[in-house]
């Protein structure tokens, strides 16, 4: 019976991994590359059932810290030192998480641990947290997406959108 349960759990994990597409968003700002590598889950009819302690994400063992994607943790790379909403982020590789304790006031978490599965979070590895600017997208965002926008003058914006949420944070290339 234990073998059956383990095999069933593995099959479920493989099915959910197949449904989230691997995506890389990359942009050159001030001559330096900034990128986010993540798996993009879909809403799949679960509008209003994703966020909050009773939502799908609320069942994650790291809740209210969310991997802000699916499968492996969301990877962030910068070729330059950045100022992310007042947080000094040295050039290098990081993992991004989002604290969604308050559905209307998210915090971006820049974590120094890299390469881990998305449900593995070590608060002791946090480089820092910054408040994200929240808005509602004009339409439902079916597939989770990150965008990096060049705002000119070595400045940019990182935006995360999914379902009826849009959260962004400004940064400066140093």
- Please tell me which residue, 85 or 11, carries the higher pLDDT value: 85
**Alpha-carbon span 87 to 65, nearest angstrom:** 19
Structure confidence by residue, pLDDT tens digits, 83-136: 999 999 999 999 999 999 998 899 999 999 999 998 899 999 999 999 999 999
What b/e readout covers 18-33, taking b as 16+ CB neighbours within 10 angstroms? Answer: eebeeeeeebebbebe
CA 96/CA 130 separation, integer angstroms = 11
- pLDDT of 51 reads 80
% pLDDT > 90, the chain: 75
Do 86 and 130 form a contact (C-beta atoms < 8 A)?
yes
Residue 91 DSSP one-character state: S
- Give the length of the chain: 174
* pLDDT tens digits for range 67-81: 999 999 999 999 999
- Whether pTM exceeds 0.75: yes
C-beta of residue 26 within 8 angstroms of C-beta of residue 33? yes
Instruction: Give the pLDDT score at 58.
Output: 83
Contacts of 17 (CB under 8 A, 6+ apart): 39, 70, 71
Sequence-ordered list of residues with C-beta below 8 angstroms from that of 32, at least 6 positions apart, any chain:
78, 79, 80, 91, 173
Q: What are phi and psi of 40, to 5 degrees?
A: -105, 100
With cut-offs at 50, 70 and 90, classify the pLDDT of residue 52: confident
Q: Would you say 140 and 156 are in contact if contact means Cβ atoms under 8 Å apart?
A: no
pLDDT at res. 10: 41
The closest of 35, 38, 133, 39 to 79, measured between CA atoms, is 35
């Amino acid at each position: 019976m234990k073998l059956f349960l383990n095999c069933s759990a593995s099959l479920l994990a493989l099915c959910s991994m197949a449904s989230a597409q691997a995506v890389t968003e990359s942009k050159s700002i001030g001559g330096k590359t900034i990128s986010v590598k993540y798996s993009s889950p879909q809403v799949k009819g679960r509008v209003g059932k994703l966020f909050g302690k009773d939502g799908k994400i609320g069942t994650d063992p790291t809740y209210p810290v969310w991997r802000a994607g699916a499968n492996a943790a969301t990877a962030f790379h910068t070729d330059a030192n950045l100022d992310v909403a007042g947080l000094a982020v040295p050039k290098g590789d990081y993992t991004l998480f989002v604290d969604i304790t308050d559905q209307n006031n998210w915090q971006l978490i820049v974590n120094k641990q890299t390469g881990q599965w998305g449900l593995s979070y070590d608060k002791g590895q946090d480089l820092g947290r910054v408040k994200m600017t929240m808005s509602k997208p004009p339409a439902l965002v079916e597939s989770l997406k990150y965008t990096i926008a060049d705002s000119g003058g070595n400045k940019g914006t990182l935006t995360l959108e999914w379902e009826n949420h849009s959260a962004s944070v400004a940064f400066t290339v140093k």
